[in-house]
Amino acid sequence: MIDFITACDYLGTFAFAISGIRLASAKHFDWFGAYVVGVVTAVGGGTVRDILLNATPFWMEQPSYLVISGLALLYVIAFRKYLIRLNNTFFTFDAIGLGLFVVVGISKTLSFGFPMWVAIVMGTITGSFGGMTRDILINEEPLVFRKDIYALACVFGGIVYYICLQLSVDEAFTQFFAAVSVFIVRVIAVKYHISVPALKGED
């Protein structure tokens, strides 16, 4: 079970880093800059969560996350021409990672003694602030707030987590259901082009 979770974590990190590196390459960042954008995309959400929780940022406790981001950079450099064909694969990894990141954010926050609503916010931050910081770094308006259902999928997962807890569902199943619900919402939103409506301006 631990191994399965770790595998999802690493797949998600890889997919998040790939998305950062690809967007940075479109903006002509150099290799190292693209790597930094990749790392920030992959670990940015969890880092903001850990700073808010006053915990040591998770990626400072073992080098895996920086190493995986480095592999993502090599991957983009080596397979640049074939990346578009793999968009579906990356999307799947990204959605798996998102589900896991949200659940990790929620359970870590609860373990620090915060109430459920803080945990849902932290789960959402864990899942979406990496992509938000990526878009700030490449000087674009954050995609996570404008395209398909992304941040809201994290909130949905948090609500599923809450309902499971209320129904006294076993902890491992609670986490599994919450992660899967994030994954499913993402897949449905992208497949059927479902978006949160844009907020109308005041013309």
**Which positions lie near its own copies, rule CB under 8 A?**
21-22, 24-34, 36-37, 47, 51-52, 54, 56-57, 60, 63, 66, 76-77, 80-81, 83-84, 114, 117-118, 121, 132, 136-142, 144-146, 151-152, 155, 195-202
From the CB of residue 153, how many other CB atoms can be counted at a distance below 10 Å? 27
In angstroms, what is the minimal distance from the CB of 92 to its own copies? 19
Of 34, 37, 46, 35, the closest CA to residue 9 belongs to 46
DSSP code at position 85: G
When the beta carbons of 143 and 169 are compared against its own copies, the nearer one is 143
When the beta carbons of 83 and 180 are compared against its own copies, the nearer one is 83
In angstroms, what is the minimal distance from the CB of 23 to its own copies? 10
Question: In angstroms, rounded to a whole number, what is the distance separating the alpha carbons of residues 164 and 170?
Answer: 8
In angstroms, what is the minimal distance from the CB of 100 to its own copies? 21
When the beta carbons of 7 and 146 are compared against its own copies, the nearer one is 146
Of 22, 17, 108, 8, the closest CA to residue 66 belongs to 17
In angstroms, what is the minimal distance from the CB of 29 to its own copies? 5
When the beta carbons of 117 and 173 are compared against its own copies, the nearer one is 117
Q: How far is CA 152 from CA 122, 125, 155, 159, 185, in A?
A: 13, 11, 5, 11, 9
Of 101, 114, 202, 203, the closest CA to residue 144 belongs to 101
In angstroms, what is the minimal distance from the CB of 8 to its own copies? 24
When the beta carbons of 85 and 191 are compared against its own copies, the nearer one is 85
For residues 164 and 174, the answer to whether their CB atoms sit within 8 Å is yes
